[in-house]
Structure 1
Amino acid sequence: MAELVYPPVVLAAKLMFRVLDNKLRVDGAEHIPATGGAVIACNHVSYLDFIFCGLGAQPAKRLVRFMAKQEIFTNKVAGPLMRGMHHIPVDRSAGAASYREAVARLRAGEVVGVFPEATISRSFTVKEIKSGAVRMAAEAGVPVVPMALWGTHRLWTKGRPRTLTKRHVPILIRAGEPFQPKPEEDAEVLTKDLRARMSALLERVQADYPEQPAAEDDRWWLPAHLGGTAPTPEAAAAMDARRE
């Protein structure tokens, strides 16, 4: 398919982050297959994660097709971009169609990006995840590449004001070793394995992050178990249940 929109968007994003001096570091890109289909399963802490997850595949020269909620595709500004980049709309009331589309894309040799937590994690840990990533990979016969992002939430996350022009924010992106789900394997077991891999990667990028909060009231972006003031996973789950 023609790629008239995706490359210019990538260049614009790279330019913006260069101007803002947001230090991007990508590790593990060698784990992303240079050819053929693959699922990238990434943690979700920011409204901008699809941009950075996509940039994480750039060293491998792959364009990632993200599964995203249908509402984004109907937005006057974002919609044309999402369609032009050939992302996959997800109608949550009829998810089977988007699942089939993702499997078809994978079989055609594309990279499909998913956020298995489905929504942003307010605790900045990996929430319970859905099984779609491993199921579609097993059905299409392609590997799953776990990925972790850290720092993106400091720019724009749930419950916090947008700071898209904030300068000098380090962003770490790490891809982990791929694994190949098999159709005969238990999807629940595979999903637990994927979550463990994503959690381990997230812990690594959190440990490698070059900054700490400058003041006590800036500790919101650290998870509770690292001494921050973000909600615990239990408190975050309760907030999600109340849709706060």
Structure 2
Amino acid sequence: MEARALLAGPGAARALRAGGTGRLVVALGAGGYLRLGADGWVLLTGPRTALGPLSLLVAGLGSEPARADVRDARVGPQALVVGSRRIDLSGLRVAGVDAWPSPAPGGGEALAAAAAAAPRPPASLLVGLRALERADLPRAVRVLAGRGEGLTPAGDDVLAGYAGWAAAAGDPVDLSALAAGRSSPIGLAYLRCAERGELPAAAAAVIAAALDGDREAVARRARVLRRWGSSSGSAMLWGLAAAAGAPIR
């Protein structure tokens, strides 16, 4: 059975539209992170995986582990070819970015409670979080970008959470220009998406509940967000809380 692309996050869709050639950089199961051109990134993953801005949900990937040394990747008008695997793009849908509700009272407090229930940030990130709380963005980027554990370092995920809340609140920030050369390439790609309001579905759900002032929904959705990646969800939650004026103590 030929693999078929079903749904793309907005960042993945931009990379596919730009086209070009590339390679699989990080293998994750049958898929992984594919780099196209200079800075286009696509996360190849199965059809039931939680959607993120770089995700390309594909039916028929199979179970054979991908190999990160596959260097022959290219995008054509109707297909993405990665090594010997052809992924049909003809029926691809692109996820949109929902309109955010107007902020209601209590959103910051709800986020503070959800963040307090998450694992405490390591000391190496707390200085950067305090800088974000003061809106000292240059210092925050210097301290956080590229720092911490995880495929996307936790510091990059914190910055993405901060940028995502700022975009939703109608006060977008440009952190990626400051983070270029400091953040990991994949972390920088997620940060650029977050500046556009493009986030993992779980993070967007937390923001929507916080803007509605729904404390119970924030807590429930934050638990889902914390399962995004090995550490990315918790780190994004710390960034959301900092941006909403809900400091982590």
User: Is this a same-fold pair by TM over 0.5?
Assistant: no
Q: TM-score, normalised by structure 1?
A: 0.29
Relative to its length, the structure with more strand (as a share) is 2
Q: TM-score, normalised by structure 2?
A: 0.28
